[in-house]
Amino acid sequence: MINGYLDLRSDTVTLPKAEMMDAIANASLGDDIMGEDATVNELQRKAADLLGMEDALLVTSGTMANQIAIMNFAQRGQEVIVGNESHILNLEGAALAAVAQVQARPMTVKNGYFDPEIVESLISSGDIQRAKTALISIENTYNLNAGQIVSIENTKEIKELAVQHGLPVYLDGARIFNAAVALEAAPKDLCKHVDAVQFCLTKGLGCPLGSILAGSKEFIQHAKMNRQRLGGGMRQAGIIAAPGIYALDHMIDRLKEDNQKAYQLAKKLSAVEGIHINLDNVQTNIIAVNITKEDIDADKFIELLKEKQIKVKKIGKRKIRMIVHYLITDENIEYLFENMKGIMSGSRTVQHQLFD
């Protein structure tokens, strides 16, 4: 329970564990702009090693990490190829345009597959009319309303294509560890074919704030300047890094439980009349639920769930999203299932298919 609710709107709603608060209290601190915060330095080293990158940088958010990466790789007026459901394109306040001053070249990504043929068709070497492509940006897990896994082979294909065209590949890996545990792969294997990557400490890892951007030494040096430009240079940032170190040590392997619980719940719910879930799409900790009852739309469903102290997120007129995190127990899964089934049993079924 978080503030009296079983909250599945996101895995960002978790409150820091007592162990994280203890880590903050005991962290050794210093001025991080001067490079003197030992806790930040430890986290950055640990994260770089985990991702198989030369160096890493602590930043305040995933959005900041993404925009720094774009600023690093692309010049003003150039193009960046992004998934059309990606966070970078949709949920960063149009920072691509407003801050990094690049143009998005969106592509369709089906079931977490970045089709190299589509990517290649969008690459431009630039001429008087058409802007030059500067970067291919992928996302794993893909689509914050779906959590689809991008395979290592697909990442490799994209990298090979990028190399042919002299382009870098960036990975927005906000939930990269959910993908890694699902694939039973080392996180560094998912980053082997990209030039830089970010992950969020605040999603399944349960930290109160922070993201890590990782890449080559040169990339991170450049990133420090762009972070400074965005006002993201920090002083005693060890208070952010301390829970991050705890999270890398204790919160990664257990993500498979979140993935498993999500699938368990999705599977049970998919048998309920009035609910449609594409189980093939429940690959990590995110469940997208289509409501197929005539007299219940997402708003109504959310209202009825709130009476049962459950919070979920609306992502369409007849669609909600749930994200499982470490505070959701097996009993909670049962409680969620029973209540959702109960709500559906009292209503009429939609005549035609209103979902995809």
Ligand X SMILES: *Cc1c(COP(=O)(O)O)cnc(C)c1O
- Least Cβ distance, residue 161 to ligand X (angstroms): 22
Of 61 and 290, nearer to ligand X (C-beta) is: 61
DSSP per-residue string spanning 13-68 = -PPPPHHHHHHHHH-----TTTT--HHHHHHHHHHHHHHT-SEEEEES-HHHHHHH
Query: Checking phi first, is residue 111 left (phi over 0); if not, alpha (psi -120 to 50) or beta?
Result: left
Edge-to-edge strand ranges of the sheet holding 319-323: 275-276, 286-291, 319-323, 313-316
Q: What are the structure tokens assigned to 56, written together? A: 């890493």
Of 259 and 292, nearer to ligand X (C-beta) is: 259
For 272, the 3-state DSSP assignment is: coil
Residues 6+ apart with CB under 8 A from 180: 186, 187, 189, 190, 252
Q: What are phi and psi of 206, to 5 degrees?
A: 80, 15
Tell me how far apart the terminal alpha carbons of the chain are, to the nearest angstrom: 32
- Residues lying near ligand X in the complex (CB under 6 A) are found at 61-63, 66, 87, 139, 144, 172, 174, 200, 202, 211
- Least Cβ distance, residue 347 to ligand X (angstroms): 32
- Least Cβ distance, residue 11 to ligand X (angstroms): 9
Question: Rounded distance, CA 203 to CA 62, Å?
Answer: 10
Question: Rounded distance, CA 151 to CA 15, Å?
Answer: 31
- Least Cβ distance, residue 201 to ligand X (angstroms): 8
The identity of residue 38, as a single letter, is A
Of 87 and 318, nearer to ligand X (C-beta) is: 87
- Least Cβ distance, residue 300 to ligand X (angstroms): 27
- Least Cβ distance, residue 222 to ligand X (angstroms): 20
Of 211 and 226, nearer to ligand X (C-beta) is: 211
Of 69 and 291, nearer to ligand X (C-beta) is: 69
Cβ–Cβ contacts within 10 Å for residue 306, how many? 12
Q: Which residue has the tokens 């709500």?
A: 343
- Least Cβ distance, residue 247 to ligand X (angstroms): 14
Of 55 and 139, nearer to ligand X (C-beta) is: 139
- Least Cβ distance, residue 142 to ligand X (angstroms): 8
DSSP run (H or E) holding 219: helix 217-229
Cα–Cα distance list, 221 to 36, 55, 56, 70, 72 (Å):
16, 9, 9, 14, 10
Of 61 and 283, nearer to ligand X (C-beta) is: 61
- Least Cβ distance, residue 202 to ligand X (angstroms): 6
The identity of residue 182, as a single letter, is A
Of 205 and 343, nearer to ligand X (C-beta) is: 205
Position of minimal CB gap to ligand X? 62
Q: With beta carbons less than 8 A apart as the criterion, state whether 195 and 173 touch.
A: no
Of 62 and 274, nearer to ligand X (C-beta) is: 62
